[in-house]
Amino acid sequence: MAACRLEYFSLVFLSLRLFSSYIASASSIRGVAVTRLPFYDSSKDFTCLDGSLTVPFNNVNDDFCDCGDGTDEPGTSACSNGLYHCTNAGFRPRNIPSSRVNDGLCDCCDGSDEYDGAVTCPNTCKELYKELYQKQREEAELAKQGIAIKQDYSQQGQEKKEERKQKLEGLKKQLEEKKAVVESLKAKKDEVETIEKEAKDMHEKEWEETKAKLLAERDRASADTAFRALDTDENGRVTLQEIVDTELLDKKYNEDEARELLGGYEESDIEDFFSGLWSTFKDKYLHKQPEPTPVGEENPTEAETPPTESPPLPPPIDDNFDDEDLPEVPGDEDDDEEEEDEDERDEPSDEFKQEAENKVTKVSTEESNKDDDLKMPEYDEETKAKISVADDARKEFNDAETVSRETEKEISELERSLNLNLGQEEEFSPLQGQCFDYTDREYLYKLCPFDRASQQPKDGGSETSLGTWGEWTGEPNKYSRMKYSGGQACWNGPSRSATINLRCGSTNEVVQVSEPSRCEYHMEFRTPAACQSGDGDSTLPHGHGGEL
């Protein structure tokens, strides 16, 4: 049927050729665009447009595909790779795949793609044009408003940029100055700290000496006390028997052990006891004498109660901790070392140390009063004054450094902003720092230009990142599309990403969000910043299907 019809058409066109112009005859070739008509000259054989084959002109549109490129059948569905041209008079022309010719569906608005009589396609080109015209006018109006705003945006943006540049310059200058100040304050601080240190060291050294003396006295006193306690017959000698009998040692000693304690002798006088034996006895002597020993005379030995003896250790030190921040405490490190030595710990682990430190600190606060006399006395007024000067210098230095760092941060933020591509004329600048919401049935979407895109269930629940600012990806107009990538990963799939199509609008608004393929989101964002001077002009925009 179709074949017969086509023959009829070619007859008509042959008779026309006798007396009409070339254009007139060629215009009756179905499915050929005017621009291509010169290739379809019915007075000659037809050569496929790829040059691969020449066939009699009768073969054109005879519902049989001869050419590999499908060009001999512009008006039928015979070639699977062919194109049919809809003239769509009154609207815009369009090319459709040949497979849509006579398939029962109306594709061209002029209805010319369905000519086998199976369906009747009304000509809708006029209506489409009207609709489009209307739409274009609206868009033109929108564009007009939009462009005005855009110009404003650009101006704002450029001003902002200039402002930023200047601010940056200013800040850089300031930073230099601030750094110089920091330097000088550091020098000053170092200087007064040296003085402070000298004064403190002097004070501490003196105290060390005093304390050593004091401790030695105490030790001697303890030894005396112990000797007296052990010397039950008060004959000025501690004998083997007295050792064996005493309850004051950590355990009961038999004779041999007692002799060993006495350094191989049967007895010992106070001097030998103190000089030769006390260091051994210290560990074993339990000072549980009923009567309290007066301070200064009969002090408990350090050995038995190391915690009470030890000064509070500094709190755990982290790397950022400055020495200056430590509380001024009496005592010094030597004490600690001594204590550890006495405990015979083999390189205690950090944990262990920590534990010990805690214990020590606790005990020392409870009992600190007891050992007031072992605390370093306050610094003298002169030293105090020096410390105070140093404190002031430190504070000044720290404050200046903080200010300088803040400036550095501000500079890097400014530089980032200045490096952002905010449009040809900075027209997107006002969008930076703003967020625009869009709500559908289930989710609240957020678009924060040049920052991130996200999705959050309306009924609560945590926000899901759809990506952070990536780049402009529009074609051919770079600024017509944004890409946000590296969002939260999908189960068994890629990480989420969002593509934002920008369209001209009189206000900033997310008008649509969809997920056309899994984990790839699309948003349509209207903004004056996207308005082009050509938007809404009288040229017809490209419709769906496009020029193929």
Partner 1 sequence: MATSHASRILSLLLLWIIPEINAVDKGNFKKCDDSSFCKNNRAIQPGESPYSVVKDSIVFTEPRYEVKDVLIQEPQPVSNQKLKQDDESVHIGFNNNSVVLTFEPFRLDFLVDNEVAVSVNSRGLMNFEQYREKRKVVVKVEQEDEEGHAPGENEEENQMISLSRYEKYSKKDVLSEDNNEKKEEERVEEENFEENFKEHHDSRPRGPCSVGLDISFPGVEHVYGIPEHADSLALKTTVGSEPYRLYNLDVFEYELESRMALYGSIPVMIAHSVARTVGVFWMNAAETWVDISSSSARKSMLNSLMSFFKGSEEVPQVDTHWMSESGIIDVFVMLGPRPHDVFREYASFTGTTALPPMFGIAYHQSRWNYNDEDDVKNVDKGFDEHDIPYDVLWLDIEHTDGKKYMTWDKLKFPTPDHMQKNLAAKGRKMVTIIDPHIKREGGYHIHEEATSLGYYVKNKDGGEYENWCWPGTSSWIDFTNPEIRKWWAGKFALSEYQGSTETLFTWNDMNEPSVFHGPEITMHKDALHHGDWEHRDIHNIYGFYQHMATAQGQIDRSGGRERPFVLSRAFFAGTQRNGPIWTGDNTAEWGHLKASLPMILTLNLVGLPFSGADIGGFFLNPDPEFVSQMVPGCGISAIFPRSRSFGHEAPLWVEYPEEKNTFAMEDEFLLGKDLLVKPVTTQGQNSLDVYLPGKGELWYDLHDFKIYRGENTIYVSTPLEKVPVFQRGGSIIATKQRVRRCTALMHKDPYTLTLALNSNAEAEGDLYVDDGYTFDYKNGAYIYMKFTFQGGRLTAKREKPNTQYSTPAWIERIAILGISNAPKGIFLTADGGESRHLHFTHDSSSNTMIIKKPAVNIAQEWTISMHA
Cβ–Cβ under 8 Å, residues 11 and 39: no
- Can residue 516 be called a binding residue for partner 1 (CB under 8 A)? yes
Q: Which is nearer to partner 1, 80 or 473 (CB)?
A: 80
* CA proximity to 487, closest of 533, 528, 518, 441: 518
- Could you count the other beta carbons within 10 Å of the beta carbon of residue 382? 11
Binding residues among 3-42 for partner 1 as defined by CB under 8 A: 3
Choose one: 103-111, 259-267, 290-298, 460-468; the region binding partner 1 (CB under 8 A): 103-111
- Give the 3-state secondary structure of residue 502: strand
The C-alpha atoms of residue 474 and residue 504 are separated, in whole angstroms, by 14
Near partner 1 in 38-97, by CB under 8 A: 62-64, 77-78, 80, 97
Number of Cβ within a 10 Å radius of residue 402:
11
Nearer to partner 1, 62 or 219 (CB): 62
What is the rounded distance in angstroms from the CA atom of residue 504 to the CA atom of residue 142?
7
CB nearer to partner 1: pick between 21 and 80: 80
Select 77 or 239, whichever has its Cβ closest to partner 1. 77
Q: Is 100 in the site for partner 1 (CB under 8 A)?
A: yes
Q: Which is nearer to partner 1, 402 or 514 (CB)?
A: 514
Tell me whether residue 4 or residue 18 sits nearer to partner 1 (CB atom).
4
Task: Work out whether 104 is an interface residue with partner 1 (CB under 8 A).
Answer: yes
Residue among 109 and 223 whose Cβ is closer to partner 1: 109
- Per rule CB under 8 A, count of chain residues that contact partner 1: 28
Residue 11 or 385 with smaller CB distance to partner 1: 11
CB of 375 to partner 1, least distance (A): 56
Peptide bond into 494 cis (omega under 30): no
- Residue 545 binds partner 1, judged by CB under 8 A: yes
Q: Return the residue matching tokens 């200056």.
A: 324
Q: Which stretch binds partner 1 (CB under 8 A): 102-110, 335-343, 355-363, 453-461?
A: 102-110
Tell me, residue by residue from 456 to 495, as one string, x for binding to partner 1 by CB under 8 A and - for no binding.
Answer: ---------------------------------x-xxxx-
Considering beta carbons, is residue 3 or 317 the nearer one to partner 1? 3
- The secondary element (H helix, E strand) that includes residue 424 is none
What φ, ψ does residue 257 adopt, rounded to 5°? -65, -40
Tell me how far, at minimum, the Cβ of 447 lies from partner 1, in Å.
19
Q: Closest approach of Cβ 159 to partner 1, in Å?
A: 41
Binding partner 1 by CB under 8 A: which of 50, 283, 515, 537?
Answer: 515
SS3 content of the chain, % helix, strand, coil (to 5): 45, 15, 40
The closest alpha carbon to 75, from 85, 65, 66, 67, belongs to: 85
Angle, helices 381-419 vs 125-230, to 10°: value is: 160
Least Å distance between CB 4 and partner 1? 9
CB 479 within 8 A of CB 472: yes
**DSSP secondary structure code for residue 175 in this structure:** H
Enumerate the H helices of 368-483 as residue ranges. 381-419
3-state SS assignment for residue 332: coil
Decide: 124 and 112 in contact? Cβ < 8 Å: no
Confirm or reject binding of residue 514 to partner 1 (CB under 8 A). yes
- Residue 99 binds partner 1 (CB under 8 A): yes
Contacting positions for partner 1 (CB under 8 A): 1, 3, 62-64, 77-78, 80, 97, 99-100, 103-105, 118, 441, 489, 491-494, 514-518, 544-545
